[in-house]
Structure 1
Amino acid sequence: MNKEIEAVRYEAKVTETPMIELQGVTKEFLKPSGEVHTVLQDINLTVRKGEFVSIVGPTGCGKSTTLSLIAGFESPTKGRIKIQNETLEGINKIAACVFQTENAFPWKTVIDNVSLGLRLRGMNKQEAYEEAKRWIEIVGLKGFEGHYPHQLSGGMRKRVALAQTLIVQPQILLMDESFSALDVHTRHLMENELLKIWEETSASVFFITHDLEEAIALSDRVVVLSAGPAATVKGDYKIDLPRPRNVAEVRFDPAFMRLHEQIWNDLRDEVMISYAHTISNK
């Protein structure tokens, strides 16, 4: 009964309101030789408010480029990016990023790192510290406020990164291979921590990963990009698994296994194309 209640609560959280829209997006770069390299070609993709969407695809297909476009770090060559129905121009001010590399300042304590975003927005130190303490507790680091990053494990430093990002209450959370450097057990703990925090917010999540199992375990939808160059959306799969989820346990669900087989059949072809292209260019 509790699971049914949780599932209803979750479904009410995701709305039909588009938060992120990529409309006919093409991204080209100019090589040193003067040749034009097309990374993405005519990408059409929508992420709804409160939705968790993962992007998978072979190496070099433009996953990180897509995230950079949504963040406003890059501009599309053709097409447009819309955020809350407004064309994105410049940096996406309602988005925050969590990358694979650590972004904590090594000379600052946990509480100083976590509170920094609020301090930069003009909040006084005492108020920022109080809010930082709340988020430090949420991510399971209560008691480590005065520690420095080098005194923490890799998983704990990733928790600091989450707290740093979420304390500013972004409406869009952009994550690029955020847990890939962690060992498998710590990775599962962090994935569950992310889901727990996300389910308490209305943030839309755009999550990049090379791990198809991770994508399915976390997401509402998994989007497959084709092999580059000129990658496009090849498949868009709804992940109709009940929430809340335990990312380690859900992998044994027969429905999970069926989804994995279906998506992998789509993804495998692109991986092989990418591999053949890499070999031919050596």
Structure 2
Amino acid sequence: MNTESEHVRYEAKANVKPMIELIGVSKEFLKPSGEVHTVLRDINLTVGKGEFVSIVGPTGCGKSTTLSLIAGFESPTKGTIRIQNELLDRINRLAACVFQTENAFPWKTVIENVSLGLRLRGTDKRKAYDEARKWIEIVGLKGFEGHYPHQLSGGMRKRVALAQTLIVQPQILLMDESFSALDVHTRHLMENELLKIWEETSASVFFITHDLEEAIALSDRVVVLSAGPAATVKGDYRIDLPRPRNVAEIRFDPAFMRLHEQIWNDLRDEVMISYAHSVGHK
């Protein structure tokens, strides 16, 4: 399991159909000064159907920009993005997002928030509520249907966000630092909950995190982005750890520790470059 050929560089299996493809993607923004700022340069990345892929990299390297491109919130300056082999040129209708910030409307109850996605799609209220109750139970919130967000803990609100997202049965789940604000114990609970739900669906997951341990514990692959500006893919690592996983326990596995050391050696260089760049601009 610890040989380089098995999980240093990942080659997609022939029987795994690509759900997401970024082909030669670059993204540029125009600064107020008129200078062109290149965030991403020549990104080539594939996420298979049902695959869990985490993206790590130093602050400001373009992880969230990459997610925005896949979601269709932004368009690439160069290159193409394909979803199920179709060119993405609008909002990605197969994707749903879970961000670090809360998604719930504070004036709506749990069941009203969770059912909202279906209601907006024209589903009858009774049917939407019936489906919402199923997902509320799946994420462990049965009995809290009538509560408002301010009456829930941070972990419970994050469960609401998951149910909100998953009720529309997205084929792609985009997650940007979704658990970073939680305490470590609640975070592990939510990570395990996410894995349990993901293993019961066929969703492809694109997960952004600054926590390398979290990335390894959750993922089939971990992709390392280089320091910005003009970040690109530096490393693509296959995570050959057995499933199902307990994210707290898997961290003590010797194979996990070897992977962490290997990927951190790649990531550390980029973190140092990013730090030196930020200090130099102060």
Tell me how far 1:110 sits from its aligned partner: 0.1
Structure-2 separation of matches of 1:94 and 1:263: 31
Asked if the contact 1:15–1:49 (Cα under 8 Å) also holds between the matched residues in 2, the reply is no
Count of residues in Structure 1 that have an aligned counterpart in Structure 2? 269
Q: What is the aligned-residue identity percentage? A: 89
Give the counterpart letter for 1:203 in structure 2: A
SS at match of 2:40: strand
- RMSD (Å), alpha carbons: 0.7
Structure-2 separation of matches of 1:89 and 1:61: 24
Partner of 1:115: 115
Q: Deviations over 1:25-82 (max 9, x none)?
A: 0000000000000000000000000000000000000000000000000000000000
SS at match of 2:111: helix
Asked if the contact 1:98–1:178 (Cα under 8 Å) also holds between the matched residues in 2, the reply is yes
- How do residues 30-109 of structure 1 correspond to structure 2 at under 5 angstroms? 30-109=30-109
Q: Which runs of 5+ in 1 are unaligned?
A: 1-13
SS at match of 1:96: strand
- How do residues 140-159 of structure 1 correspond to structure 2 at under 5 angstroms? 140-159=140-159
TM-score between both structures, scaled by the size of structure 1: 0.95
Structure-2 separation of matches of 1:76 and 1:125: 38
Structure-1 separation of matches of 2:131 and 2:76: 37
Partner of 1:190: 190
Tell me how far 1:15 sits from its aligned partner: 4.8
Partner of 1:278: 278
Partner of 2:8: none
Structure 1 segments, 4+ long, off by >6 Å, are none
Partner of 1:173: 173
Partner of 1:217: 217
SS at match of 1:141: coil
Structure-2 separation of matches of 1:92 and 1:84: 11
Tell me how far 1:16 sits from its aligned partner: 1.2
Q: Deviations over 1:68-115 (max 9, x none)?
A: 000000000000000000110110000000000001000000000000
Q: Which runs of 5+ in 2 are unaligned?
A: 1-13
Asked if the contact 1:136–1:163 (Cα under 8 Å) also holds between the matched residues in 2, the reply is yes
Asked if the contact 1:110–1:148 (Cα under 8 Å) also holds between the matched residues in 2, the reply is yes
Structure-2 separation of matches of 1:87 and 1:127: 33
